[in-house]
Amino acid sequence: MSKLAQAIGLAPWMQRLQAWRSARENRLPIRNWDGQATDQPTRIAGFDPALVWCVVGLLTLGLVMVYSASVALPDSPKYARYSPTFFLNRHALSLGIAFVAALLAVQVPVKAWEKWAPRIFVFSLLLLAVVLIPHVGKGVNGARRWLPLGVMNFQPSELAKLGMAMYAASYMVRKMDVKERFIQAVWPMALALAFIGVLLLAEPDMGAFVVIALMALGVLFLGGVNGKMFFLSLAVLLAAFGLMIATSPFRRERILAFMSPWDPVYSAGKGYQLTHSLIAFGRGEIFGQGLGSSVEKLHYLPEAHTDFLMAVIGEELGFIGVALVILAFFWLTRRIFVIGRQAVAMDRVFAGLMAQGIGIWIGGQTLINMGVTLGALPTKGLTLPLLSYGGSAILMNLIALAIVVRVDIENRQLMRGGRA
């Protein structure tokens, strides 16, 4: 056979085949998750499909509920020129743009995000300043929070939330050696938070500032800042919030309306949204009035498709629907924190703290929005993540969650012996 192979010129190919077989037999085994040996090389271990499907489920529910909450808006003079499907089409377009952006974001390694973190944060601050320029930023209902981009009105505060998650994580990694010394460890972060607070309160957007402040403090605490220092920072921040409320008649009236929403003085003013939100939840009872059967969305409850979408869910889907949404957000937030903790355990501190900062963002904003609609917290202009109408919010939510998925992918690669 060898003479025949030589005669027809196959001898070199036969030698290569024999060498490949010998190398395959001598290859060192690699352990799988079940402990069994395999000779397959390390490859990408994939991602958490449950997390992705939870997000997809919430986005789908949000699309349905935004349509349900906005379908009757063209009956009012304010929206008379809009079609019944205007907000549905805009929301679907935003979902499409956000989906493409998320697919691109998940391709970017965490190392690149760590490198860009300070620049992204500074860029978000610049946009927050630009939105305050007359004839540049777009004002709605007395607030100047949006930059008109044609396809959508972009809200810089949403980018600032992601920027803060990245910057705080990057800051803690860089200041790891001085985190026990309060002044050196905290003052640069406090200065950045004060600057962003001034810009947000000038819009005004106190709700976004509360979320960003929670993220900053949360990442500082998770990053290992001394407990006494953390509680001192928290006390200073609470005192600052109290001072802002005490010196602002507008905010003070909101607090009073929150405490007594049914008082005739407030029920037709600052407490109007809250009273009708509570009526919506009361009408929903256990199983709800049925999809599309909300009465409060018929021009009684303002901003039903944005800030108070949860009230429409409560009225149409009842306690069962509200409980399922709460469980979905609880599981999603917990899963994000688990991914972050896994990253920290593998000495990927930036990735872990950034993921946990995003978890504080999603979980904290959800808690505040639900607390507002249920009357447990004063009214804030915050949307319900992944569900409410709002192009820039959906865009930044999906980019942030795509980054969490990327952290999870790299965690799985490292746990299988590969490289991030």
In a domain, 260, yes or no: yes
In a domain, 58, yes or no: yes
Q: Are 219 and 356 in contact (CB under 8 A)?
A: yes
Check residue 76 and give its pLDDT: 83
The tens digit of pLDDT for each residue in 8-54 reads 455 665 666 666 556 554 443 333 333 344 444 334 457 789 999 99
Give the number of residues written for the chain.
420
Rounded mean pLDDT, 286-308: 91
Residue numbers of the domain that contains 280: 45-413
Closest by CA position to 69, among listed 276, 279, 299: 299
In a domain, 197, yes or no: yes
In a domain, 278, yes or no: yes
Q: How confident is the model at residue 6 (pLDDT cuts 50, 70, 90)?
A: low
Q: Which of 238-242, 292-296, 312-316, 398-402 has the lowest mean pLDDT?
A: 238-242
Percent of the chain residues topping a pLDDT of 70: 85
In a domain, 1, yes or no: no
Q: How many domains does the chain have?
A: 1
**Global confidence as pTM:** 0.84
Check residue 235 and give its pLDDT: 80
Check residue 58 and give its pLDDT: 97
Closest by CA position to 236, among listed 295, 190, 270: 190
In a domain, 351, yes or no: yes
The tens digit of pLDDT for each residue in 74-93 reads 888 888 888 999 999 999 99
In a domain, 40, yes or no: no
In a domain, 130, yes or no: yes
Rounded mean pLDDT, 111-138: 91
The tens digit of pLDDT for each residue in 217-265 reads 888 888 877 666 777 777 877 887 777 777 777 777 778 777 888 888 7
257 vs 200: which has the higher pLDDT = 200
Q: If DSSP states are collapsed to H, E and C, what string results for the chain?
A: CHHHHHHCCCHHHHHHHHHHHHHHHCCCCEECCCCCEECCCCCCCCCCHHHHHHHHHHHHHHHHHHHHHHCCHHHCHHHCCCCCCHHHHHHHHHHHHHHHHHHHHCCCCHHHHHHHHHHHHHHHHHHHHHCCCCCCCEEECCEEEEEECCCCEECHHHHHHHHHHHHHHHHHHHCHHHCCCHHHHHHHHHHHHHHHHHHHHHCCCHHHHHHHHHHHHHHHHHCCCCHHHHHHHHHHHHHHHHHHHHCCHHHHHHHHHHHCCCCHHHHCCCCHHHHHHHHHHHHHCCCCCCCCCCCCCCCCCCCCCCCCHHHHHHHHHHHHHHHHHHHHHHHHHHHHHHHHHHHHHCCCHHHHHHHHHHHHHHHHHHHHHHHHHCCCCCCCCCCCCCCCCCHHHHHHHHHHHHHHHHHHHHHHHHHCCCCC
